[in-house]
């Protein structure tokens, strides 16, 4: 797909998404790789813009250079943001007490250890609060299954996913790292395969080498 066509389709997707104010976001495309610039008023909107670009057919990668500018000056300080995040964690039984949040100038760093990737992702989703400008997720996973079990469970998860053609993807594992190979037709499918792999117990990391072919 030509970059000019892809550029217009990404812009259309941003304008269509009700969570995004597209007027403040710039888009550039180079050989299928999309770069988003500009600013938004919240970290949640920043994530929504990234997801919108990733949904577009033919997008091979998305670079995030969007800044976060709160709508008003009455934003929470770091201590208030940290307290709000930890209170949210307490209400979610899936997030263990070992997970902690550090906040510096609105940027949140998550640390701790969990058994499942969905716990790590849920902790990251909680961070979309007023005043948050970015996130570094350093939460680690601890394996409890063998490499063969991991490989089998990831392969089965890919086959069950209706959004993927598992015949075009193959899997290997090494010390808790899952390696994905093959090809799909969109960046969103590539991300879906990665998420499906991470959902398997014992997966510490996913090396996603799936190619996007338009």
Partners of 64 in the beta sheet?
36
The pairing of strands 107-111 and 100-104 is: antiparallel
pLDDT single digits (tens) 150-206: 888 888 888 888 778 878 898 988 877 889 999 988 888 888 899 888 887 778 789
Q: How much is the pLDDT for 49?
A: 93
Q: What CATH class does 147-212 carry?
A: alpha beta
Per-residue pLDDT averaged across 86-100, rounded?
88
What does the domain layout of the chain look like in residue ranges?
A: 3-68, 78-141, 147-212
Per-residue pLDDT averaged across 14-18, rounded?
93
- Cα 107 to Cα 94: distance, rounded to the nearest angstrom: 23
Nearest 5°: phi and psi at 183?
-150, 150
Q: How much is the pLDDT for 144?
A: 66
Q: How much is the pLDDT for 92?
A: 86
Structure tokens at 140: 């680690």
71: confidence class by pLDDT, cuts 50, 70, 90: low
52: confidence class by pLDDT, cuts 50, 70, 90: very high
Cα-based distances in Å from 165 to 104, 109, 160, 161, 178: 42, 35, 10, 8, 18
The topology (CATH level 3) of 3-68 is 3.30.1340
How is residue 18 annotated by DSSP?
A: T
Domains 3-68 and 147-212 alike in fold:
yes
């Amino acid at each position: 797909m030509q970059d000019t066509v892809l550029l217009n389709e990404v812009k259309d997707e941003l304008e269509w998404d009700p969570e995004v104010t597209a007027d403040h976001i710039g888009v550039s495309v180079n050989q299928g790789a999309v770069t988003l610039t500009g600013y938004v008023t919240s970290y949640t909107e920043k994530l929504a813009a990234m997801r919108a670009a990733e949904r577009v057919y033919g997008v091979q990668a998305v670079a995030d250079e969007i800044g976060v500018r709160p709508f008003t000056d009455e934003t929470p300080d770091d201590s208030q943001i940290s307290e709000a995040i930890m209170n949210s964690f307490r209400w979610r039984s899936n997030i263990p007490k070992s997970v902690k949040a550090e906040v510096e100038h609105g940027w949140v760093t998550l640390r701790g250890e969990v058994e499942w990737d969905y716990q790590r992702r849920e902790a990251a989703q909680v961070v979309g609060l007023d005043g948050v400008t970015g996130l570094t997720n350093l939460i680690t996973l601890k394996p409890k299954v063998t490499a063969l079990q991991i490989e089998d469970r990831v392969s089965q998860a890919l086959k069950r996913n209706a959004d993927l053609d598992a015949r075009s993807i193959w899997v290997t594992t090494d010390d808790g790292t899952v390696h994905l190979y093959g090809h799909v037709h969109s960046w969103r499918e590539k991300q879906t395969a990665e998420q499906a792999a991470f959902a398997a117990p014992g997966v510490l990391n996913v090396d996603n080498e799936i190619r996007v072919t338009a």
